[in-house]
Amino acid sequence: MQKRVGYASRVSEEEMKKQLVSRPATYMVGELDTLPIAGFDSSCPAMAQGVNRLVRGKSYTDYIRQNYGAQHPFTIIPLCGHNARCMFTSDTALPVLFPKQ
């Protein structure tokens, strides 16, 4: 947060936290997104966040819920790895992204 640039540098840290919680967001991770492929960051700081994208996604969502009170939906998409087509066309994702009114 100390070296923010662009838009982020013009908004206070407190305002950014408020926006994080108040804006609509949906978090989805693939059940099989557990392999270090497709540009996976294996640096020490990244690995401290979790051993794979599935764990990192769950950890991040837990963190913002516990520390900021966010209530964004978190969904694990069955049988998908790190693959946007699989994720966004799955029977699990469609009702999360486009709920019936």
Q: What is the pLDDT of residue 2?
A: 86
Q: What is the pLDDT of residue 64?
A: 96
Asked if 70 contacts 24 with a C-beta cutoff of 8 angstroms, the reply is no
Q: What is the pLDDT of residue 67?
A: 96
Per-residue model confidence as pLDDT tens digits over 45-87: 999 999 999 999 999 999 999 999 999 999 999 999 999 999 9
Q: What is the pLDDT of residue 38?
A: 80
Asked if 93 contacts 84 with a C-beta cutoff of 8 angstroms, the reply is no
Per-residue model confidence as pLDDT tens digits over 30-49: 999 999 888 899 999 999 99
pTM of the model: 0.85
| Other beta carbons within 10 Å of 21 | 15
CA dihedral (99, 94, 96, 46) in degrees, to 10, reads -150
Region 9-35: mean pLDDT is 94
